[in-house]
Structure 1
Amino acid sequence: MTNPCIICVAITGSLPTKDNNPAVPITIAEQVESTQEAFEAGATIAHCHVRDDDGRPTSDPDRFAALKEGLEKHCPGMIVQLSTGGRSGAGRERGGMLPLRPDMASLSVGSNNFPTRVYENPPDLVDWLASEMLAHDVKPEIEAFDLSHIFKAHQMWKAGQIKDRPYVQFVMGVKNAMPVDREVFDFYIHTVRRLFGDDVPWCAAGIGARQLTVNEWAIGAGGHARTGLEDNVRLDRDRLAPSNAALVQRAVDLCGQYDRPVATWQQAREILGLRMVHP
């Protein structure tokens, strides 16, 4: 296969703590250092959350600005994707960082169950987040926790709420949401291609112990892969992951097994239709 694979590293998230794994980067400086190592290992998208001084998730635009500045300085060319996820804030607070004009931002277009709560993404908030992304030239990554989210993304694309073709990420393995199921995974791919075209890029993320499984499915099927300590803090049942870079290297090794070149940041930007930068 000559299709380069984009590797996204989800560096921190909202939930993992140093009690779960001491390698989880919490402060801005730790996140920049961890991302730089992952970038050098082959990751070309950094999916970013920020924490407050007590390590709790926040949507503070100033903290996002500091992280974005650090990543652009130390990881030149890497795609910076900021999270608008619901664990970090409520309502429009979740999109307060979009005027920073990151390359990308996550966009959940529907609600679903999480392990202990409902992940609420009401239609009016989804519409507002999408409009802010359009206004600030931020490409959304559609986080599809359910099949209906792919159809919602198609509806928004046809209505002009999402420009270009959406980049859809299948999120599998969240407790009480979509499990890691190969037939569902294959149907997701079929549905995305049917709705958006055979050559549309897509990505997949596996949560927890199934991260490696979904990485392999995605790479083997010609898609792109997400890894990182946000989704999984272990290499296996007995070993903690020593770094984000170690999880990226595992995905890089899978690319070699499936004859997929690892995308450079220039290739990743071209595949996703992002503006080029000149580090």
Structure 2
Amino acid sequence: MSKPCIICVAITGSLPRKENNPAVPVTLDEQVESTQAAFEAGASIAHCHVRNDDQSPSSDPDRFARLMEGLNTHCPGMIIQLSTGGRSGAGRERGAMLPLKPDMASLAVGSNNFPTRVYENSPQLVEWLADEMLAYDIKPEIEAFDLSHIHQAATLAEQGKIKAPLYVQFVMGVKNAMPVDKPTFGFYIETLKRLAPDAHWCGAGIGANQLILNEWSIAAGGHTRTGLEDNVRWDKTSLAPPMPPWWSGWRSCVRSTSARWPPGNRRARSSGSRRPDDSPQRPLTAVTIGCIAICTEGFHKCGIHRCSFDHRNLA
């Protein structure tokens, strides 16, 4: 039996603003409401950023604490993953929220180019963030923007700086970084399996390639990510709607087409962990989703479908 598929929802990010898409949730209340809608539709991990009042990105621990409080109240059992990304702060400021002990936190293990700047992650900062995550029992999500980042993650695990099994996110489609390329995607999977056979992985496509990475990731047996952080448009002429109609639109479209359910269609069931590494440290309330399907007819209008099963009540 194949493993469950986990959907991570990246609600807001650090860059999209109301001017780009009015549906982008910026305030804490908006983020909680949007995350709850995604959770009830089947998402299991919330990748979280916080904003200042002027919509600029922040690493403020107080804002993260209030966001976590809201998510724990309205999305019980959802895996909370806080961002330590470089747009929200500099140096150790990026890890100021880690004492809050979220389930997970993002960890970029190397530097790379972004559209207009270098995303700088020095070895010293990476090791400090990894040490903090170990100290607070936080599961890192390795953000792999480049092949070398997969190698570096495996090295850190060998050195005991990251607890195995690894959870690696392949980020593709950022301008000036790794493009969305199917052979490269396959080589990423092959390389991770060779270096860390017990690792879990997730695919995240940025911009117009978001749904392409969703499709590739699910078909290849991995996990996947969606949300307005990665893409504020539904297509070339339409903005992505708020989370509830976005997800319900996917479901309606799949139900209205003659969808073919691929081999390996996976239903997530409860296990002994709230984190995607199968470690038993924390009890599970709800970790993953119901049935996942790819609508192979008109995929870019259908996306991912969660069936009508309630993931919180699966046996």
Pairwise TM-score range, normalised by the shorter structure:
over 0.9
Q: How far apart are 1:262 and its partner, in Å? A: 5.1
Match of 2:78 in 1: 78
Match of 1:243 in 2: 242
> Which structure has more RCO (C-alpha within 8 Å, separation ≥ 6)?
1
Secondary structure at 1:152 match in 2:
helix
Does the Cα contact within 8 Å between 1:227 and 1:251 map onto a contact in 2? no
Cα distance in 2 for partners of 1:137, 1:185 equals: 30
CA distance change for structure 1 residues 67 and 134 in 2, over 3 Å: closer, same or farther?
same
Does the Cα contact within 8 Å between 1:42 and 1:249 map onto a contact in 2? no
Q: How far apart are 1:239 and its partner, in Å? A: 1.8
Does the Cα contact within 8 Å between 1:141 and 1:169 map onto a contact in 2? yes
Match of 1:187 in 2: 187
CA distance change for structure 1 residues 239 and 148 in 2, over 3 Å: closer, same or farther?
same
Match of 1:217 in 2: 216
Secondary structure at 2:274 match in 1:
helix
Match of 1:88 in 2: 88
Cα distance in 2 for partners of 1:11, 1:265 equals: 24
More helix by share: 1
Match of 1:260 in 2: 265
Moved more, 185-194 or 240-249: 240-249
Match of 1:233 in 2: 232
Structure with greater Cα Rg = 2
| Match of residue 276, structure 1, among 280, 283, 286 | 283
Q: Which AA in structure 2 matches 1:113?
A: N
- Structure 1 position 144 matched with structure 2 position 141: no
Does the Cα contact within 8 Å between 1:7 and 1:42 map onto a contact in 2? yes
CA distance change for structure 1 residues 9 and 250 in 2, over 3 Å: closer, same or farther?
farther
Cα distance in 2 for partners of 1:244, 1:188 equals: 30
Cα distance in 1 for partners of 2:184, 2:144 equals: 12
Q: Which AA in structure 2 matches 1:18?
A: K
Q: How far apart are 1:278 and its partner, in Å? A: 5.1
Secondary structure at 2:152 match in 1:
helix
CA distance change for structure 1 residues 146 and 24 in 2, over 3 Å: closer, same or farther?
same
TM-score of the two chains, using structure 1 as the length reference: 0.93
Cα distance in 1 for partners of 2:203, 2:184 equals: 12
Does the Cα contact within 8 Å between 1:9 and 1:248 map onto a contact in 2? no
CA distance change for structure 1 residues 250 and 160 in 2, over 3 Å: closer, same or farther?
farther
- What root-mean-square deviation, in Å, do the aligned CA atoms of Structure 1 and Structure 2 show? 2.2
CA distance change for structure 1 residues 90 and 262 in 2, over 3 Å: closer, same or farther?
farther
Cα distance in 1 for partners of 2:100, 2:226 equals: 25
Q: How far apart are 1:257 and its partner, in Å? A: 3.7
Deviations 1:46-87 (A, max 9, x none): 000000111110000000000011001000000000000000
Cα distance in 2 for partners of 1:122, 1:251 equals: 40
Does the Cα contact within 8 Å between 1:9 and 1:226 map onto a contact in 2? yes
CA distance change for structure 1 residues 251 and 165 in 2, over 3 Å: closer, same or farther?
farther
Q: How far apart are 1:268 and its partner, in Å? A: 7.5
Moved more, 254-263 or 24-33: 254-263
- Structure 1 position 131 matched with structure 2 position 141: no
Q: How far apart are 1:165 and its partner, in Å? A: 1.4
Match of 1:175 in 2: 175
Alignment of 1:29-44 (within 5 A): 29-44=29-44
Deviations 1:25-45 (A, max 9, x none): 000000000000000111000
Cα distance in 2 for partners of 1:39, 1:5 equals: 14
Q: How far apart are 1:276 and its partner, in Å? A: 2.1
Q: Which AA in structure 2 matches 1:69?
A: E
| Structure 1: runs of 5 or more not aligned | none
Match of 1:201 in 2: 200
Cα distance in 2 for partners of 1:5, 1:256 equals: 18
Does the Cα contact within 8 Å between 1:165 and 1:200 map onto a contact in 2? yes
Q: Which AA in structure 1 matches 2:265?
A: R
Does the Cα contact within 8 Å between 2:111 and 2:122 map onto a contact in 1? yes
| Structure 2: runs of 5 or more not aligned | 287-315
Q: Percent identity?
A: 66
Cα distance in 2 for partners of 1:92, 1:169 equals: 22
Cα distance in 2 for partners of 1:248, 1:10 equals: 14
Q: Which AA in structure 1 matches 2:161?
A: Q
Cα distance in 1 for partners of 2:199, 2:138 equals: 18
Match of 1:8 in 2: 8
Cα distance in 2 for partners of 1:150, 1:251 equals: 32
